[in-house]
Amino acid sequence: MGAELLSDQQQRDLHELLLRRYRLLTQILRNELHVDGSDAVQATATSDADWATAEVDADLALTRVERDQNELNAVSRALARIDRDEYGICESCGAAIGYPRLLAHPSATRCLVCQEQQETASKFAPL
């Protein structure tokens, strides 16, 4: 089904783009998760302000890891959709997502119209 929506070359290009991103994110996460923070802890032990800075740095590092892991998961799901021949199809309306959108955001699961509707609905949804 996905091959009907994208040319073979477009699908190969997007597949390669996703694979490169997958490999890069895997390496980034490996590096982020294996950073030894012992030097930072020793250097910050001198004052409360230093501890606060170290805590903010740790929170930022955790946020980066979470962001990268979420993107890696999205890329993995996109690669699985390619394998199932479902890639490039909007999960909301079933229409083609479109090559330009997929080039900009290869792990996109919705066409631009459905994505905008979802973001608008999320923006105004009660907390």
User: What domains can be seen in the chain, in order of their start residue?
Assistant: 2-124 (1.20.120.910)
pLDDT at 28: 95
pLDDT at 5: 78
Per-10-residue mean pLDDT, the chain, length 127: 73 97 96 66 62 82 93 98 95 95 96 94 80
pLDDT at 97: 96
Q: Is-contact 5 88, C-beta < 8 A?
A: yes
Model pTM score: 0.78
pLDDT at 2: 44
